Amino acid sequence: MGGKSSPKSRQELMRRLLSSPYFAQAESLRRILLFLSERIESGDDSPAKEYEIAVSVLGRPSSFDPKIDPIVRVSMASIRDRLRAYFENEGRAEPLRVSLPKGQYRLVFTRTDRPKAAEAASKPALSWFWSPYLLPANPNILVYTELLFFRDADGNFIRNIYINDLATGETGLRQKLGGLASTPLSPSFHFVSAGEMSCLLAIQRTFAALGAPLEIRNARFFSWSDARRANLVLLGSSRTNPFVRSLHSGLPFVITDRTIENREPRSNELSSYSESRSVEGRLERVIEYAIVTRRPGPAGGSAVTMISANHGRAIEGAGVFLTDEAHLQGVLEAIGRNQFFQILLRVELLDFDEEVVNVEYVTHRVLPS
């Protein structure tokens, strides 16, 4: 271990790390961090073995072969990136830091001087991106979506991702159920997307750090009259959020039920972006896309930011991206200080539980004021 640190200070840091938005929803990465931390506390400072992590921590079978299943290496890269993001954001004032050296599966704790308050608060890219929401003139409202399920008399919940209209949903679902069509069903809105909630929490934390108020509203109980004079943040897909659906029309990138359509493709771009799945050895990889749109609000002088995707975890990945200074610094350099724009993001998900492991900028469009 680098520097001097007590077991108590290390354990307290690990608790804050694991409860942060960078690790709270990433179960396999949490397990790896805990495993490596417990090795340190047991007095073992030697690097762990890739096989040991795969089998003992991630539940891979004893036949695990790192040559055909790179889950440990991919997970370690994601942990390094999330540790960096934590210490650049929520953990920027931490006196104790932890790192994961490349090529070594062990944690290194080091002490650092607390940064000056002015330096810690300096987040030029974050301040630029969220600047419309930092002014006192308009209230800030984030609108999330609930998912339409149907419940039978035995307490079973049924959902089809393409059925989200309460008025016609039961008829459409019965057509898809076939032999189960005679089961009595009642609508239920008791569930939300885990990825969407992770995005919501990341934005809420960022607004709190920037000193900006943020009201949280449910799309089912929100109307255009509620939006007058308000700066909005809209989460969801065109299937689930009617406000996203109505405000995406006529833009260069438009989200549909299954894809993100590129209405003005350039020479190095695709005309549409949709989910792709592949298997690397025994490791499943999923590529999803999210579109971030900043456009004028329904009332003069307000702004709307839409974070849209056809997979909840892609919305989560976009939330991670939009609350990270380093990621937004790259966007700022790419698009300048334009007020309205669309940003296309590529989100990589890993393994059966589809954890977000990487988010990358793909391209953008500048929109007219």
pLDDT exceeds cutoff 60 at 116? no
What's the token pair of residue 242?
A: 């009617």
Q: Which CATH architecture has domain 124-145+193-366?
A: 2-Layer Sandwich (3.30)
**Which residue, among 126, 125, 17, has the nearest Cα to 79 in the 3D structure?**
17
Radius of gyration of the chain (CA): 22
Sequence letter at residue 364? H
264-306 pLDDT, tens digit each: 999 999 999 999 998 877 788 899 999 999 999 877 788 999 9
pLDDT at 2: 42
pTM attached to this predicted model: 0.75
SS3 label, residue 322? helix
- Which residue stretches of 139-277 are H helix? 166-177, 194-210, 242-247
pLDDT of the residue at 293: 97
Given a cut of 90, whether residue 216 has pLDDT beyond it is yes
Judge contact between 366 and 338, C-beta under 8 A: yes
Encode pLDDT of 15-67 as tens digits: 888 888 888 878 889 999 999 999 888 888 888 999 999 999 998 889 988 88
Task: State residue 138's pLDDT score.
Answer: 85
Phi-psi region of 59 (alpha: psi -120 to 50; beta: other; left: phi over 0): left
pLDDT of residue 129: 95
What pLDDT, on a 0 to 100 scale, did the predictor assign at position 84? 87
List the domain boundaries for the chain: 7-120, 124-145+193-366, 146-192
Give the model confidence (pLDDT) of 118-151 as tens digits.
444 568 899 999 999 998 778 999 999 988 888 8
Q: Is 244 helix (H, G, I), strand (E, B) or coil?
A: helix
Neighbours of 267 (CB within 10 A): 4
In tens, the pLDDT along 86-110 reads 888 778 778 899 999 888 899 999 8
**pLDDT, the chain, mean:** 87
Q: What share of the chain is helix, strand, coil (3-state, %, to 5)?
A: 35, 25, 40
